[in-house]
Amino acid sequence: MNVFGVDIGGTGIKGAPVDLDRGDLVEPRYKVLTPHPATPDAIADGVVEVVRHFGWSGPVGITFPGVVTGSVIRTAANVDKTWIGTDAGQLLGDRLSLRATVLNDADAAGVAEMAFGAGRGRKGTVLLLTFGTGIGSALFMDGKLVPNTELGHLELHGRDAEKHASTKAKDDEDLSWEHWAHRVQKYLAHVEMLFSPELIIIGGGVSRKADKFLPLIKGIRAEMVPAELQNNAGIVGAAMAAAGR
Protein backbone atom coordinates (compact mmCIF):
# COMPACT_ATOMS: atom_id res chain seq x y z
CA MET A 1 0.00 0.00 0.00
CA ASN A 2 1.41 3.38 -1.05
CA VAL A 3 0.54 6.64 0.74
CA PHE A 4 2.14 10.08 0.41
CA GLY A 5 4.09 11.67 3.25
CA VAL A 6 5.34 15.26 3.60
CA ASP A 7 7.76 16.44 6.29
CA ILE A 8 7.71 20.19 7.01
CA GLY A 9 10.89 21.38 8.71
CA GLY A 10 12.45 24.69 9.61
CA THR A 11 14.89 24.32 6.71
CA GLY A 12 13.11 22.22 4.08
CA ILE A 13 9.80 20.68 3.01
CA LYS A 14 10.29 17.19 1.64
CA GLY A 15 8.03 14.37 0.60
CA ALA A 16 7.55 11.17 -1.38
CA PRO A 17 5.16 8.26 -1.80
CA VAL A 18 5.76 5.60 0.86
CA ASP A 19 5.35 1.82 0.65
CA LEU A 20 3.71 1.11 4.02
CA ASP A 21 4.38 -2.61 3.76
CA ARG A 22 8.13 -1.96 3.72
CA GLY A 23 8.31 1.40 5.51
CA ASP A 24 10.41 2.87 2.71
CA LEU A 25 10.11 5.52 0.02
CA VAL A 26 8.78 4.37 -3.34
CA GLU A 27 10.69 7.10 -5.18
CA PRO A 28 13.48 9.48 -4.18
CA ARG A 29 12.06 12.30 -2.08
CA TYR A 30 11.53 15.76 -3.52
CA LYS A 31 12.52 18.78 -1.43
CA VAL A 32 11.97 22.53 -1.53
CA LEU A 33 13.41 25.10 0.85
CA THR A 34 11.18 26.28 3.67
CA PRO A 35 10.15 29.86 2.79
CA HIS A 36 10.97 32.80 5.04
CA PRO A 37 8.81 34.05 6.55
CA ALA A 38 7.36 30.55 6.96
CA THR A 39 3.72 31.65 6.97
CA PRO A 40 0.80 29.23 6.48
CA ASP A 41 0.20 30.30 2.88
CA ALA A 42 3.89 30.22 1.97
CA ILE A 43 4.43 26.77 3.44
CA ALA A 44 1.21 25.54 1.82
CA ASP A 45 2.69 26.60 -1.55
CA GLY A 46 5.75 24.43 -0.80
CA VAL A 47 3.63 21.44 0.23
CA VAL A 48 1.56 21.75 -2.96
CA GLU A 49 4.75 21.85 -5.07
CA VAL A 50 6.13 18.72 -3.39
CA VAL A 51 2.90 16.72 -3.77
CA ARG A 52 2.23 17.83 -7.34
CA HIS A 53 5.80 16.96 -8.33
CA PHE A 54 4.69 13.32 -8.09
CA GLY A 55 1.21 13.84 -9.55
CA TRP A 56 -0.23 12.37 -6.36
CA SER A 57 -4.02 12.15 -6.01
CA GLY A 58 -4.65 10.18 -2.79
CA PRO A 59 -4.52 10.92 0.95
CA VAL A 60 -1.52 12.86 2.25
CA GLY A 61 0.10 12.82 5.70
CA ILE A 62 1.93 16.00 6.70
CA THR A 63 4.23 16.67 9.66
CA PHE A 64 4.54 20.03 11.40
CA PRO A 65 7.37 21.29 13.67
CA GLY A 66 5.22 22.10 16.70
CA VAL A 67 2.37 20.91 18.89
CA VAL A 68 -0.62 19.67 16.89
CA THR A 69 -3.96 18.86 18.57
CA GLY A 70 -6.50 17.41 16.18
CA SER A 71 -5.15 19.24 13.17
CA VAL A 72 -4.83 22.65 14.86
CA ILE A 73 -1.35 24.12 15.38
CA ARG A 74 -0.66 25.17 18.99
CA THR A 75 3.03 26.15 18.90
CA ALA A 76 5.39 27.37 16.17
CA ALA A 77 8.94 27.73 17.45
CA ASN A 78 10.79 27.49 14.12
CA VAL A 79 8.15 28.80 11.69
CA ASP A 80 6.00 31.94 11.57
CA LYS A 81 3.83 32.56 14.65
CA THR A 82 0.75 33.09 12.46
CA TRP A 83 0.54 29.28 12.34
CA ILE A 84 -0.71 29.23 15.95
CA GLY A 85 -4.43 28.53 15.94
CA THR A 86 -4.45 27.52 12.26
CA ASP A 87 -6.33 24.36 11.31
CA ALA A 88 -3.49 22.93 9.22
CA GLY A 89 -5.48 19.90 8.12
CA GLN A 90 -8.18 22.10 6.63
CA LEU A 91 -5.77 24.63 5.13
CA LEU A 92 -3.48 22.09 3.48
CA GLY A 93 -6.32 19.76 2.49
CA ASP A 94 -8.11 22.64 0.76
CA ARG A 95 -4.95 23.76 -1.03
CA LEU A 96 -4.21 20.22 -2.20
CA SER A 97 -7.86 19.27 -2.81
CA LEU A 98 -6.92 16.04 -1.01
CA ARG A 99 -7.52 14.58 2.44
CA ALA A 100 -4.69 15.80 4.67
CA THR A 101 -3.68 14.39 8.06
CA VAL A 102 -1.35 16.59 10.15
CA LEU A 103 0.79 15.57 13.14
CA ASN A 104 3.89 16.64 15.05
CA ASP A 105 7.07 16.02 13.07
CA ALA A 106 9.03 14.16 15.75
CA ASP A 107 5.98 12.07 16.66
CA ALA A 108 5.79 11.01 13.01
CA ALA A 109 9.47 10.09 12.95
CA GLY A 110 9.11 8.16 16.19
CA VAL A 111 6.10 6.17 15.01
CA ALA A 112 8.04 5.20 11.87
CA GLU A 113 11.13 4.16 13.84
CA MET A 114 9.01 2.08 16.23
CA ALA A 115 7.31 0.30 13.33
CA PHE A 116 10.16 -0.12 10.85
CA GLY A 117 13.41 1.06 12.43
CA ALA A 118 15.52 1.11 15.56
CA GLY A 119 12.55 0.87 17.95
CA ARG A 120 10.90 -2.11 16.30
CA GLY A 121 9.71 -4.62 18.90
CA ARG A 122 11.05 -2.59 21.84
CA LYS A 123 9.00 -2.35 25.03
CA GLY A 124 9.48 -0.10 28.04
CA THR A 125 10.31 3.61 27.70
CA VAL A 126 11.77 4.59 24.33
CA LEU A 127 12.68 8.16 23.39
CA LEU A 128 13.40 9.39 19.88
CA LEU A 129 15.14 12.76 19.55
CA THR A 130 15.51 14.53 16.21
CA PHE A 131 18.37 17.01 15.91
CA GLY A 132 17.98 19.63 13.18
CA THR A 133 16.78 23.23 13.10
CA GLY A 134 15.45 22.46 16.58
CA ILE A 135 15.23 19.34 18.73
CA GLY A 136 12.10 17.24 18.37
CA SER A 137 11.04 14.40 20.65
CA ALA A 138 8.77 11.38 20.59
CA LEU A 139 8.20 9.40 23.78
CA PHE A 140 6.86 5.83 23.82
CA MET A 141 5.79 3.53 26.64
CA ASP A 142 5.47 -0.09 25.57
CA GLY A 143 5.11 1.08 21.98
CA LYS A 144 2.37 3.64 22.71
CA LEU A 145 3.08 7.26 21.80
CA VAL A 146 2.79 10.10 24.31
CA PRO A 147 2.12 12.88 21.76
CA ASN A 148 3.50 16.42 21.52
CA THR A 149 6.22 16.13 24.19
CA GLU A 150 8.39 18.89 22.63
CA LEU A 151 11.37 18.12 24.89
CA GLY A 152 13.62 20.37 22.81
CA HIS A 153 12.10 23.23 24.80
CA LEU A 154 13.28 21.97 28.18
CA GLU A 155 15.39 24.63 29.86
CA LEU A 156 19.13 24.08 29.66
CA HIS A 157 21.56 26.77 30.81
CA GLY A 158 18.73 29.28 31.06
CA ARG A 159 17.30 28.83 27.56
CA ASP A 160 15.54 26.30 25.35
CA ALA A 161 17.74 23.25 24.99
CA GLU A 162 17.42 23.35 21.21
CA LYS A 163 19.08 26.78 21.14
CA HIS A 164 22.10 25.16 22.78
CA ALA A 165 22.28 21.64 21.36
CA SER A 166 20.49 21.48 17.99
CA THR A 167 22.31 20.86 14.73
CA LYS A 168 21.51 24.48 13.83
CA ALA A 169 23.36 25.62 16.96
CA LYS A 170 26.35 23.51 15.90
CA ASP A 171 26.36 25.05 12.43
CA ASP A 172 25.64 28.63 13.54
CA GLU A 173 28.43 28.57 16.13
CA ASP A 174 30.78 26.47 13.97
CA LEU A 175 31.21 23.93 16.77
CA SER A 176 33.49 20.92 16.44
CA TRP A 177 31.91 17.47 16.74
CA GLU A 178 33.58 17.15 20.16
CA HIS A 179 32.21 20.46 21.46
CA TRP A 180 28.72 19.77 20.11
CA ALA A 181 28.72 16.21 21.49
CA HIS A 182 29.49 17.65 24.93
CA ARG A 183 26.42 19.88 24.66
CA VAL A 184 24.27 16.98 23.47
CA GLN A 185 25.58 14.88 26.37
CA LYS A 186 24.41 17.50 28.89
CA TYR A 187 21.01 17.63 27.25
CA LEU A 188 20.66 13.84 27.19
CA ALA A 189 21.66 13.64 30.86
CA HIS A 190 18.88 16.11 31.70
CA VAL A 191 16.30 14.17 29.67
CA GLU A 192 17.45 10.87 31.16
CA MET A 193 17.05 12.24 34.68
CA LEU A 194 13.43 13.15 33.91
CA PHE A 195 12.25 10.10 31.93
CA SER A 196 14.73 7.23 32.47
CA PRO A 197 14.37 5.79 28.96
CA GLU A 198 15.82 2.38 28.22
CA LEU A 199 16.50 3.30 24.59
CA ILE A 200 17.30 6.68 23.03
CA ILE A 201 17.08 6.86 19.24
CA ILE A 202 18.96 9.77 17.65
CA GLY A 203 17.22 10.99 14.50
CA GLY A 204 17.19 13.92 12.11
CA GLY A 205 19.64 14.56 9.31
CA VAL A 206 22.62 14.32 11.67
CA SER A 207 21.83 10.64 12.27
CA ARG A 208 23.66 9.93 9.00
CA LYS A 209 26.85 11.04 10.79
CA ALA A 210 26.22 9.28 14.11
CA ASP A 211 29.71 7.77 14.05
CA LYS A 212 31.18 11.29 14.39
CA PHE A 213 29.48 12.15 17.70
CA LEU A 214 27.69 9.23 19.39
CA PRO A 215 30.98 7.58 20.51
CA LEU A 216 31.94 10.91 22.14
CA ILE A 217 28.88 10.96 24.42
CA LYS A 218 29.62 9.46 27.83
CA GLY A 219 27.77 8.78 31.05
CA ILE A 220 24.33 8.05 29.61
CA ARG A 221 22.79 4.86 31.03
CA ALA A 222 20.29 4.31 28.23
CA GLU A 223 21.21 2.45 25.08
CA MET A 224 21.76 5.01 22.31
CA VAL A 225 21.40 4.19 18.61
CA PRO A 226 21.00 6.21 15.41
CA ALA A 227 17.64 6.19 13.65
CA GLU A 228 17.58 3.51 10.96
CA LEU A 229 15.25 5.49 8.70
CA GLN A 230 17.44 8.57 9.23
CA ASN A 231 15.89 11.73 7.78
CA ASN A 232 13.14 9.83 5.92
CA ALA A 233 11.45 8.82 9.18
CA GLY A 234 9.14 11.85 9.23
CA ILE A 235 7.92 11.17 5.70
CA VAL A 236 7.23 7.52 6.53
CA GLY A 237 5.44 8.42 9.77
CA ALA A 238 3.33 11.04 8.01
CA ALA A 239 2.21 8.46 5.45
CA MET A 240 1.40 6.03 8.29
CA ALA A 241 -0.80 8.67 9.93
CA ALA A 242 -2.64 9.33 6.67
CA ALA A 243 -3.35 5.59 6.46
CA GLY A 244 -4.59 5.50 10.04
CA ARG A 245 -1.67 3.42 11.30
**37 has pLDDT over 90:** yes
Mean model confidence pLDDT for the chain: 96
| pLDDT tens-digit map of 51-85 | 999 999 999 999 999 999 999 999 998 899 999 99
Residues near 203 by beta carbon (within 8 Å), at least 6 away in sequence: 106, 109, 110, 113, 128, 129, 130, 131, 136, 226, 227, 229, 230, 231, 233
| pLDDT tens-digit map of 204-232 | 989 999 999 999 999 999 999 999 999 89
| pLDDT tens-digit map of 84-121 | 999 999 999 999 999 999 999 999 999 999 999 999 99
Q: Please answer whether residues 101 and 59 qualify as being in contact, where contact means their C-beta atoms are separated by less than 8 angstroms.
A: yes
As a whole number of angstroms, the distance between CA 40 and CA 232 comes to 23
pLDDT value, residue 68: 97
Query: For residue 174, what pLDDT band results from cuts at 50, 70 and 90?
Result: very high
Question: Model pTM?
Answer: 0.95
| pLDDT tens-digit map of 148-164 | 999 999 998 899 999 99
Which domains, from first to last, does the chain contain?
2-107+233-242 (3.30.420.40), 121-227 (3.30.420.40)
Other C-beta atoms lying within 10 Å of the C-beta of residue 15? 31
